[in-house]
Structure 1
Amino acid sequence: MWLLLFNPTSGGGKGRRYAEQSLTLMRERGHEVMEISGFDFRDAEAKFKAAVSAYRDQIKAVIVVGGDGMVHMAIQQLAGSNIPMGLVAAGTGNDFARALNLNLRDPLSSLELMLNNEPVKVDLGKVNDRFFADILSTGFDSVVNERANRMRWIKGRMKYNIAILLVLSTFKPKSYRFRVDDIEFTTEAMLIAVSNGQSYGGGMKVTPEARIDDGLFDVMLLGPVSKLEFLKVFPKVFSGAHINHPAVKIMRGQKVTIDSHAVAYADGERIGELPIT
């Protein structure tokens, strides 16, 4: 039996459309499929957790139809198990799909890949008791997320654009205590990303050389820069060219500890206050 987990509201309705197309294709080929969704994110999470617990030994694979938030939900139940997971990208950001090199213009092609090929292993990050698939970050972008999440009267990407402008006007670098494997140091930074994948925020290549199967995190630190310089550097994140800026440092390691008076987000979900490992 296959489980198909989908968010009917993801990507402006793409989630429901691609889920229906996926179900039709799979059932036409004789596969038994159980579909799981909910009236909201938490409802879907509870139903998925219950289904995995009840049918764990009968599940051939899980297909997630949605974005990075749905992937984050799914891996909490599937990490460390022998149950494969496939992804039909139907979200807004789709950064984990980018890390997997999936075809975002033809999301159903990834379903064909899953039906016709053997699964491969990829890395996941783990922070406290939660797994993350793509990138954990703290600093400027986490403050932007905190601000945007309070702006419930504005929807979509515009909410984050406004939050960026509001936060930038008062944001100051913070002091962080770091440990990357056996290297310990203290530094001031505006933005820190601990990356399994390459991008977040819908294609911002914060760590363009990261790989999800190398057993290592790519850690990007943006040191203190003026607000004007930040505005110059920030657009370069979409191409990955920011890593050539003298204020940017890239490290690699298997275990990272960060401590400061700040909060962290992973896969777009709030993890909580530092310290974290």
Structure 2
Amino acid sequence: MSDPRWAIVVNPTSGQGKGAVLGKLVAGYFSKHDLNYQLITGISAQSVQSDLLKFINENHDCPGVIAVGGDGLVHLVLQVVVPKKIAFAAIPAGTGNDFVRALKWPLGEINELLDHVTTTTPQVIDLGLVDGEWFGAVLSSGFDSTVNEKANALSWPKGRSKYNLAIALELPLFKPSHFEIELDDRTISTEAMLIAVGNGSSYGGGMQVCPQASLTDGFFDVMVLSPISKLEFVRVFPTVYSGTHISHPEVNVYRTKNVRINSQTVAYADGERIGALPVSAECVAGAGLTWLN
């Protein structure tokens, strides 16, 4: 009887080709250690998701799925593995890699991560569920989702530079929106520039938008940025990388298991478009199986 097979899911275009390089590294690691695996890659998200689901249905004893790519690939893989209660790990090959950050893994220690994944038992973590779609890191609406919309419409430049350009283009035009935010213990009606619902602490490649969020506490951290001037926004923005923005007088943070957000704008989760508001999200304790550092 053959050993159980792992699935290695690779997005070769992640990180401007970094996914392809790390995909070969991961496959080489599994071959070197005589671990049975199936490589899954494809030309579209739909084909990858379909191939992964087929693999899991045919390999009920699969020890885990290794996603080699960015947060977008992690988001895709979550939709397949969570309902099947299959463990998953992420190899950081994208521009953001915020889910790997939430798991407390250094971005460069690939072999150490694989050693841990292939020799230890996975742990349960919380995941967000927004209108039937799983997410691992942050659900957000407001300025950042507007920037995402702009960046997705740009064909040039590539990678991180695209988002920086989108910020520069959108900030002069951006206006706060009116939000209705329903939490477990209160309803908030307010003008805001940004709403971030953190299961993990960061998004956008290390921006600690919800710095105290934990994958194991059963709660979301909901960060609300009230309207501030464009000049003040530019001044405060760099502090998001350290998480110290939460001390700003126009920032409020709430803890909740459930949240409903309504406004005349859109929401993104893990960098992927969820759609127009309203959206409802739940922090589902213990929904995911993965390897924490």
Q: TM-score, length-normalised on structure 2?
A: 0.91
Contact 1:87 1:110 in 2 (8 A): no
- Cα distance in 2 for partners of 1:12, 1:155 equals 8
1:258 equivalent in alignment to 2:261:
yes
Per-residue CA deviation, residues 29-82 of structure 1 (Å, 9 max, x unaligned), is 222101100124333233223322x32513121111111111000000111433
1:213 equivalent in alignment to 2:216:
yes
- Cα distance in 2 for partners of 1:9, 1:31 equals 25
Match of 1:65 in 2: 68
Match of 2:19 in 1: 15
Match of 2:228 in 1: 225
- Cα distance in 1 for partners of 2:135, 2:252 equals 22
How many residue pairs match? The answer is 276
The letter of the residue matching 1:113 is H
- Cα distance in 2 for partners of 1:163, 1:17 equals 28
- Cα distance in 1 for partners of 2:258, 2:164 equals 32
- Cα distance in 2 for partners of 1:11, 1:17 equals 10
Shifted more, 257-266 versus 74-83: the winner is 74-83
- Cα distance in 2 for partners of 1:155, 1:183 equals 41
Q: Secondary structure at the match of 1:123?
A: strand
Distance apart, 1:107 and its partner CA: 2.1
Match of 1:50 in 2: 54
The letter of the residue matching 1:152 is S
Of 242, 247, 261, which aligns to 1:244?
247
Q: Secondary structure at the match of 1:169?
A: helix
- Cα distance in 2 for partners of 1:81, 1:46 equals 14
- Cα distance in 1 for partners of 2:25, 2:108 equals 15
Contact 1:103 1:109 in 2 (8 A): no
Alignment of 1:191-210 (within 5 A): 191-210=194-213
Contact 2:49 2:80 in 1 (8 A): no
Per-residue CA deviation, residues 188-243 of structure 1 (Å, 9 max, x unaligned), is 10001001011100000001111011100000000010111111111110111111
Per-residue CA deviation, residues 170-202 of structure 1 (Å, 9 max, x unaligned), is 111111111111311201100010010111000
Match of 2:290 in 1: none
Per-residue CA deviation, residues 89-145 of structure 1 (Å, 9 max, x unaligned), is 121111000000112122232111101111000111000010001000000000111
Shifted more, 89-98 versus 20-29: the winner is 20-29
Q: TM-score, length-normalised on structure 1?
A: 0.96
Q: Secondary structure at the match of 2:84?
A: coil
C-alpha RMSD over aligned residues = 1.3
Question: Where do 5+ consecutive residues of structure 2 fail to align?
Answer: 281-293
- Cα distance in 2 for partners of 1:188, 1:142 equals 16
Greater relative contact order structure (CA < 8 Å, 6+ sep):
2
- Cα distance in 2 for partners of 1:81, 1:47 equals 14
Alignment of 1:32-51 (within 5 A): 32-51=36-55
Of 179, 184, 189, which aligns to 1:181?
184
- Cα distance in 1 for partners of 2:113, 2:16 equals 20
Q: Secondary structure at the match of 1:79?
A: helix
Contact 2:266 2:277 in 1 (8 A): yes
Of 157, 166, 186, which aligns to 1:163?
166
- Cα distance in 2 for partners of 1:64, 1:128 equals 23
Contact 1:122 1:213 in 2 (8 A): yes
Q: Secondary structure at the match of 1:200?
A: coil
- Cα distance in 2 for partners of 1:88, 1:179 equals 35
Match of 1:79 in 2: 82
Contact 2:139 2:268 in 1 (8 A): yes
Q: Secondary structure at the match of 1:205?
A: coil
Alignment of 1:123-142 (within 5 A): 123-142=126-145
Distance apart, 1:86 and its partner CA: 1.5
- Cα distance in 2 for partners of 1:49, 1:154 equals 34
